[in-house]
């Protein structure tokens, strides 16, 4: 990953007092396409979320989103990242931490996002294109959502 990430996770001791369970440099970096890497920081299953237990889900094999769950991941997009038009059944909150990137929607509209910009992605088909010279890093929180419908038909995940 382009930037070093420190992950701090809290929990509780046997008496119910707050404590730090994990304090580490993030090591779990994965890639499913050229020019893009991601690290899962945390994920959950079910709503409302349970904060019980001390199991670390960061290395669990998961897709982009979890049905009836959430995923918090950091993604880096190198200049010239391979294209991937996709849609998920999730609402995605994104914060650009470093660099800039173009979000291209299926109607061809392109929006440039820069460090400090935030995005709410609501089940649309989109692609991330880094036309710059610097790697772009985005923090994403992906929360399960019902598929979007258009004219009464569900728009299912793809890509």
CA distance 17 to 55: 17
Q: Residue 127 sits in which domain range? A: 28-155
Query: Count of domains in the chain?
Result: 1
Is 5 domain-assigned? no
> Is residue 84 included in any domain, yes or no?
yes
Tell me whether residue 6 is in a domain: no
- Give me the CATH number covering residue 69: 2.60.120.10
Q: What is the pLDDT of residues 88-119, one digit of tens each?
A: 999 999 999 999 999 999 999 999 999 999 99
20 occurs within a structural domain: no
19 belongs to a structural domain: no
Per residue in 49-62, pLDDT (tens digit) is 999 999 999 988 88
pTM (2 d.p.): 0.92
pLDDT score of 2: 65
Sequential DSSP letters for 53-89: S----TTS---SS-TTEEEEEEEEE-TTPPP--BB-S
Record the tokens describing residue 7, joined without a space. Answer: 């992950």
């Amino acid at each position: 990953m382009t930037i070093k990430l420190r992950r701090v996770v809290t929990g509780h001791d046997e008496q119910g007092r707050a404590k730090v369970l994990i304090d580490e440099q993030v090591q779990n970096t994965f890639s499913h396409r050229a020019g893009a890497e991601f690290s899962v920081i945390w994920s959950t299953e079910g709503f409302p979320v349970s904060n019980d237990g001390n199991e670390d889900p960061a290395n669990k094999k998961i897709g982009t989103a979890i049905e009836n769950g959430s995923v918090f991941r950091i993604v880096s997009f190198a200049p010239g990242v391979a294209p991937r038009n996709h849609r998920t059944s999730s609402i995605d909150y994104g914060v650009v931490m470093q660099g800039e990137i173009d979000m291209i929607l299926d109607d061809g509209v392109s929006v440039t996002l820069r460090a400090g910009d935030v995005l709410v992605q609501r089940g649309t088909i989109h692609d991330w294109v880094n036309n710059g010279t610097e790697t772009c890093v985005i923090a994403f929180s992906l929360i399960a959502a019902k598929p979007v419908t258009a004219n009464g038909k569900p728009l299912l995940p793809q890509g």
